[in-house]
Amino acid sequence: MASSGIGGANGHVVLESPPSKDHNHPSIGPDSPVLFIVGGLSPRAAQEISASLIDTLSKDSSPHALSQAVKHARRARQMLWRSHFLFTPGSAELPANPEPVLAPKDSTPVVFVFTGQGPQHMRMGKALFSTYPAFKESILELDAIYEHVTGLSLIRTTGLFSETDTPPPPSPWPVDITLPAMAMFQIAMVDLLATIGIRPTAAVGHSAGETSMLYAAGAGPKEMALKVAIARAKAMKTTEALGGGMAALGCDEATALEFINHVLKDAHEGVLEVGCHNSPEAVVITGSTALVDELLSLASCANVFARRVQTLNPSHSSMTEMCQEEYLGGVRDAFEEFPGSHTPIIPCYSTVAGHGKHVKEFTVDYIWENYRRPVHFHQAISSILEDHPNATFIEISPHPALSSYISATGIESGAVVCLSRRLARAPNITQMELKTFLSSIGALSTRGVNSIDLTPLYGCASRDPVYDVPYPFTKGHFPMRVDGPRVTEPTHGGLTSLILQMNAKSFPDLAEHVINGEPIVPAAAFIDMVRIIPQTFWPVVQLFTPN
């Protein structure tokens, strides 16, 4: 609501319902780190607020004190200078006071990046599953769909996400586990981010990642996305018997083709092709296992980075054509359950077509091309940066797999975050996954993402004033009368009267509002002068009296 009067006074009032009295804190456990996002109008103010918060938390780590994370995160959305830190209740180690960062003034586009096969691992999502209801509910809903389609629970048969004591799948995982598991993780992460106010401006998917992108882009429900992943995996399973695989190379396409031609020169049979264009200096080759192994050895001898991708499937190669009929049939069945147009409601940059083209509609044929044709990831990222130069990328993955490729485009530091990470050697893997997730959310705030709301994580903020941290305003003395050159020479009295002594030093803005030798100010200024300087009462009255 806004009010403007003829006197020039402006006022703005924000109406909001009072905070709930329900101070439930379902997610704050004794070992769960809590994210604090702090903002100020200056770096000094932001640091002082952080210092006061850390001091308060060192003395009281009750849920009421921790709930201040919600209040400060909301305030920070209006501040230019921001910082964030994590506080773990019961920990003897207090967080350091972080250095504030100047957040961008313009709205920051958020791009969701969905990875394909490779970064999956047994511990992915376990801490999120046990801590955040939104993630857990989404995983359980998806597992029920998986069980309805396959007759088995992915959670109970593999031990994924929960603490079930189940032998892990063989390594590398078979594709009929990898694809559904990755889709479940990514879809649940999208749901979790949505609850705290983070939604994508645009999206891009690498290989099988486009299946989860279908859901995130609003082109279909999560049930459809998972069923597409299951159908895709079932068909791809048949190609694993062919003896195929993939490997990542740290070189350009021309060098990779030289390696391929050298290997194929002496090969009597088999397939070896470039399957993914991840960056100008990173490609993925795909094909027959024996030829992939030979190329890995050749690249290693040439001091070129080479690493096998954790998959048994020769995706994005001509070997996939043997399962085309089964693939199309299974995906078509999934699409027929959800009739209608599957058009994204946000821009989806295609890694199938590349060169800036968007996915106009998800179709059965497009899903097949996504598996058969090479991945043009680098071209898609370049197109995104042309349209959104200040974009922030969020890699939706259990471990960074594409972040380095995005950073290779030359974007500024901190523009890419990954919400999870494989930390097998960490002393407390559960806590480290939460810290990685929360630190990423804090980094998004400093990048200018202004929609973050921590209420779903920590409940409503306490209204107890004992936990309020006052804003550290800078105090100063401003005299009402300053000797200096007058704005105008006395003419008709009033503001230009010698009694008022108004000049450019005491009222610098007044010097910019002079018409025909008379200063123009709001009526509110006259009223203020009556209150502050009684002897000016008569000149003010003269303004409203004919000469």
Domains of the chain by residue range: 23-105+440-476, 110-238+319-418, 244-311, 494-543
- Identify which of 435, 398, 447, 433 has the alpha carbon closest to the alpha carbon of residue 418: 398
Give the sheet arrangement for strand 101-102, strand by strand: 34-40, 81-87, 101-102
Same-fold call for 110-238+319-418 versus 244-311: no
Residue 529 and residue 501: Cα distance in Å, rounded? 12
207 carries an active-site annotation = yes
Three-state secondary structure call for residue 203: strand
Residue 346 and residue 199: Cα distance in Å, rounded? 10
Three-state secondary structure call for residue 463: coil
Residue 286 near residue 314, CB atoms below 8 Å: yes
Q: Catalytic: which of 32, 61, 138, 207?
A: 207
Percent of the chain with pLDDT over 90: 63
503: left (phi over 0), alpha (psi -120 to 50) or beta: beta
Residue 285 near residue 247, CB atoms below 8 Å: yes
492 carries an active-site annotation = no
Residue 544 and residue 24: Cα distance in Å, rounded? 60
pLDDT attached to residue 527: 62
CATH hierarchy code of domain 23-105+440-476: 3.30.70
Q: Catalytic: which of 277, 316, 342, 376?
A: 316
pTM summary value:
0.83
Residue 234, pLDDT > 70, answer yes
Residues 454-471, mean pLDDT to the nearest whole number = 81
Q: What tokens does 488 get?
A: 């105008």
Among 118-132, 178-192, 283-297, 479-493, the least confident range: 479-493
Among 13-22, 311-320, 395-404, 527-536, the least confident range: 527-536
pLDDT tens, position by position, 293-347? 999 999 999 999 999 988 889 999 999 999 999 999 999 999 999 999 999 999 9
**Largest pairwise CA distance in the chain:** 109
Looking at domain 244-311, its CATH architecture is: 2-Layer Sandwich (3.30)
Tell me the β-bridge partners of 248.
Answer: 284, 307
Residues 228-248, mean pLDDT to the nearest whole number = 93
Residue 126, pLDDT > 80, answer yes
pLDDT attached to residue 533: 54
Q: Residue 357: pLDDT band by 50, 70, 90 thresholds?
A: confident
Domain 110-238+319-418 in this protein, CATH class: alpha beta
